[in-house]
Structure 1
Amino acid sequence: MYSSLDLDLRPGSGLGIFEIGSSLWSVLDLLRQNNTTFPRVDIKFEPQPASTTPVILHVPPHLNLLFSGRHQRLRTITLQRLRDPSLLLTLRYREIVLSSSDEKLKRVDVSRHFGPTYPGDGLQYPGVIFSFDEDGIAEGFVSPISGVDDRLREVRRVIVTQNDPDGEESDALDEVLELPSMFGSIRRAVVKAGEGIDMYFYPSSSQPVRVRIGMTSAQDLNCDLGPPLRVYHKEDDRMAIHATKQSHGTIGDAYFYNYFQHGIDFMLSGTSHLVQKIILHSNVPGSPMFQRYQRCPWEIEGEPEDEEDDSPPRMQFFDKFEIISHFLNPNSRHDVPSMLLDRADDDMLTLPGATTRTALFLRSVTSLTFAFAGLAGFEGVILEVTESGQVTTAMVF
């Protein structure tokens, strides 16, 4: 049994509680908060490559939400089955009822409320398309039905898209241009192995926030990022056995600042309250940690070719592990050693296939805590990798 819906249409901006440009993580969280209205959500994506696949949320019976592949931003909202007799749906535009169980939305009504538009089987306006075809997500308009007055044709679907400021038609799978709904979230995080990260936020005019290991304090994080969504204390020194120099007794005082909305965890010393480790989450669909965190679009920065090089080479979160491995270890002739990590040990996980491999890239092996269920590595960066070569998390220390 589905609840009745009363949705306001905002061309180029959103529909109901959904805003174009919102992240996949925030929309799924919003759906969880409204689970009585939206009791079911189907997540659809191509498994290869999972890190850059567009994601579709099918929210039966009316909604399909399409998210861009790299930044996982809401790109297209499709509303269908406008007048199913068994479902109660009201669609409004500027307080005017366009469609309801008693009100049929016809071509002539669209023209009356939105004005003239270019000829075609569908009515396309900046930021919204009215389709007479019941199927599909954003394309596939059908020709006029024989014997039916074209002015009286019933609208079957409404598609809300981003309004291109240049007036050009964009591909449905393009990335979302910068919107107010994205302000305050990370657009990229540049990793400096063994040092820290530089975080660049929306809007693009914002100043970057720099976090340095052993220098940035808990107070700095609160000032720059706001309070974390959760502070987590956990004793876990299982990886200490792999350390070249044992450091027992140092982990129990550590704690995490969890910024789920940014896709980042910071591990801080319990004594100095300085950042010790930084964990960046890729939010890869189908991986064990999917949807725990918003995607953090991280990039690992390499050494510049010379002192005047202001654009050093970088590897990004969607690059295959083999490529990143060679980037971090260009002179190595051997495969990077890895440790098996079984996410099924985490009693909060219910996903199948919870096995990943963890690449080791640290100069000095040190013990970690709960966020990784025990990992280690060399050269200042740890990568958690799926069997298909997707990097799901990167840790810096």
Structure 2
Amino acid sequence: MAARPAAPVHIVPGKGSGCFPAQCPNSGQVTPSSISLDRSIIFPTDPLRKPVVLQLPSNGLRLRFDGPDQRLRLIEVLDFSRTNLVYKNQDVLKGAKSADQPAGSSQGPSFRHVYNRLFGPSYPGEYVPPADQSPYGTYVLSYPGVAFSFPLQHSAWSDQCDFVALLSSSAALPATSMAIFQGPSWPEIRAKLFTQPPQYPRFSAVSSKTRDSFADEVEEFHILGAGKLEVVRRTSLPLLISLGETTPQDLIAEFGPPDAIYRKHDRRISIHRAAGVGNDALHLSPPARGMDIPDTDHSSTNSITDDSDDDFSPHSIGDPTSLPAECFFNYFHHGFDAFISYPTTPGPAFPGSGLPDPSTPLPSTQLTVTKIILHGNVPGSYPFNRHRRSRWMVHLDQSDYGFTSESPYDEISAQLRETWKDKYNGTPEERAMQRPMVLNRGWGDSPENSVEFLGGWEETTARGPRTGPDGHDGGLGNTELFGYPGLLFEVLKNGAVSCLTVY
């Protein structure tokens, strides 16, 4: 989702795609003259499964994105006077006014203009009777990828009428709204508008760099346990990433050069290093006790770049010895970061996965991928719009049983507690090991992203309510970190997973 597109914008739904009165609408190119973001509507308690609506009243537009994949699915033109719309070099409405003039002073295109000048013959549309005492109902005329709402006198409507003659008569008014969507017609697409697989790939425009070509885009990560991740791609065969074995050169060959290489040494969290006896066999991630905490390096959301490695160009990586000993490969347009370091033992296999636990690697000077950080790009979160959203599924056994990037954390936690229940020495130990640490992203001197918490700490902040009475996240935008074997979840107060680290 892009919050600050440049003007002019060519909007093509499904590559990256508003609603009628209880209805909603690709074709050609519809070109608004400019876009200015006014406000957005996000379901604060469920931002990943409900549509996200961007209201653009200064441009007369409303954009609707699906929650899970964050693809633009629907564009509504609600005020034709606010923007110039062009289809195949033909104005949708002659003489549309500029955005600085009052709204509501210009009607939309007439049926004759739509029928004769723009799109030509069409199948009959749908009539929606008025919901109140209004004398006008709404006739929705649909073409492939675009639909118009025409007010029609309810007294003139009849199933037996020729809709062309009816809409050409004085009983019909010019269109009051237009919808742009991907599909053959509005009646066929509306029920699956936000759930059908998009036809086109995402735009690889989250990165600030320009490229002539892009690596095949990532559709989803399947987390198998034991340091194994299967990467499902749009057209290429799935790719297996093995933590501690996959090299930086393997990543570059499959995903292209990273958008940035980042190294930062931050030791502020080392105060929480514990000296107790931990369960090394279980490889518990925080807040387990007794495991050493590496430097809390951070990556792409840090706005301070003085500590990043400007000398290492992402496009000129050849000799592995030229890389810093520990660094992040930031793939903004793929939605993930990879931590590059010397081989370490990955997290254990899930008990029902059928995979063997990974063995301890031999000492080596070969740099490998030791962690993968999957970014949720949750609307309203501190790092929003830095990475493209990464979708994932955790497979706890050999079936498709598990949870996904859209699952609320309460559901995730319940499944993981059940998975690992036999590995704890009683309820007190289980509760102690699942206490969260609070992470504040609202202050510039706070740990930022790709958090390297792989050990334990003694002090935590008591977990309070995730949301206020109005369902909005109050306070400083703090998140909570929850650790399980091989997995580290960063969770917002509404229960959405903002980031998942697999190690």
TM-score for the superposition, normalised by structure 2: 0.60
Please report how far the alpha carbon of residue 127 of structure 1 lies from its aligned counterpart in structure 2 after TM superposition: 1.4
2:148 equivalent in structure 1: 130
Does residue 395 (structure 1) correspond to residue 389 (structure 2)? The answer is no
Please report how far the alpha carbon of residue 352 of structure 1 lies from its aligned counterpart in structure 2 after TM superposition: 6.1
1:359 equivalent in structure 2: 482
The 1:221/1:212 distance shift into structure 2, 3 A limit, reads same
C-alpha distance in 2, partners of 1:195/1:324?
Answer: 19
Please report how far the alpha carbon of residue 150 of structure 1 lies from its aligned counterpart in structure 2 after TM superposition: 3.6
- 3-state DSSP of counterpart to 2:188: coil
- 3-state DSSP of counterpart to 1:325: helix
Does residue 151 (structure 1) correspond to residue 168 (structure 2)? The answer is yes
- 3-state DSSP of counterpart to 2:374: strand
Does residue 342 (structure 1) correspond to residue 374 (structure 2)? The answer is no
Does residue 185 (structure 1) correspond to residue 217 (structure 2)? The answer is yes
Please report how far the alpha carbon of residue 19 of structure 1 lies from its aligned counterpart in structure 2 after TM superposition: 2.3
Please report how far the alpha carbon of residue 104 of structure 1 lies from its aligned counterpart in structure 2 after TM superposition: 6.5
CA contact (8 A) 1:144 1:150 kept: no
Which of 38, 42, 45 in structure 1 is aligned with 2:42?
45
2:257 equivalent in structure 1: 227
Which of 327, 348, 351 in structure 2 is aligned with 1:255?
327
CA contact (8 A) 1:130 1:158 kept: yes
State the number of aligned residues: 335
User: In the TM superposition, what whole-angstrom CA distance separates every residue of 1:324-355 from its partner, at most 9, and x where no partner exists?
Assistant: 12222212644422111111234699x96320
2:470 equivalent in structure 1: none
User: In the TM superposition, what whole-angstrom CA distance separates every residue of 1:249-270 from its partner, at most 9, and x where no partner exists?
Assistant: 8978311111111210101027
Please report how far the alpha carbon of residue 177 of structure 1 lies from its aligned counterpart in structure 2 after TM superposition: 2.4
CA contact (8 A) 1:190 1:199 kept: yes
Please report how far the alpha carbon of residue 279 of structure 1 lies from its aligned counterpart in structure 2 after TM superposition: 0.5
C-alpha distance in 1, partners of 2:185/2:79?
Answer: 30
1:63 equivalent in structure 2: 61
Please report how far the alpha carbon of residue 181 of structure 1 lies from its aligned counterpart in structure 2 after TM superposition: 3.4
- 3-state DSSP of counterpart to 2:35: coil
C-alpha distance in 1, partners of 2:293/2:229?
Answer: 25
Does residue 105 (structure 1) correspond to residue 136 (structure 2)? The answer is no
C-alpha distance in 1, partners of 2:333/2:247?
Answer: 20
Seq. identity, %:
25
Which of 316, 331, 338 in structure 1 is aligned with 2:404?
316
User: In the TM superposition, what whole-angstrom CA distance separates every residue of 1:50-92 from its partner, at most 9, and x where no partner exists?
Assistant: 221210122332221111122111110112321x2xx5x3322
Please report how far the alpha carbon of residue 44 of structure 1 lies from its aligned counterpart in structure 2 after TM superposition: 1.3
Gaps of 5+ in 2: 1-5, 18-32, 97-106, 128-138, 157-164, 204-215, 275-289, 298-323, 343-364, 449-473
C-alpha distance in 2, partners of 1:256/1:68?
Answer: 30
2:88 equivalent in structure 1: 94
CA contact (8 A) 1:122 1:131 kept: yes
C-alpha distance in 2, partners of 1:69/1:247?
Answer: 35
1:116 equivalent in structure 2: 122
One-letter amino acid of the structure 1 residue matched with residue 338 of structure 2? F
Which of 198, 202, 208 in structure 1 is aligned with 2:238?
208
1:171 equivalent in structure 2: 191
- 3-state DSSP of counterpart to 1:329: helix
| Greater strand content | 1
C-alpha distance in 1, partners of 2:59/2:198?
Answer: 30
Please report how far the alpha carbon of residue 164 of structure 1 lies from its aligned counterpart in structure 2 after TM superposition: 4.9
CA contact (8 A) 2:142 2:185 kept: no
Please report how far the alpha carbon of residue 145 of structure 1 lies from its aligned counterpart in structure 2 after TM superposition: 8.2
Which of 341, 344, 352 in structure 2 is aligned with 1:269?
341
Of 270-279 and 208-217, the range deviating more from structure 2: 270-279
User: In the TM superposition, what whole-angstrom CA distance separates every residue of 1:269-297 from its partner, at most 9, and x where no partner exists?
Assistant: 27633111110111222222222221111
The 1:68/1:338 distance shift into structure 2, 3 A limit, reads same
The 1:245/1:316 distance shift into structure 2, 3 A limit, reads closer
C-alpha distance in 2, partners of 1:167/1:224?
Answer: 41
CA RMSD after TM alignment: 3.3
C-alpha distance in 1, partners of 2:110/2:45?
Answer: 41
Does residue 195 (structure 1) correspond to residue 227 (structure 2)? The answer is yes
Gaps of 5+ in 1: 8-15, 25-35, 133-141, 305-310, 362-378
Please report how far the alpha carbon of residue 6 of structure 1 lies from its aligned counterpart in structure 2 after TM superposition: 9.6
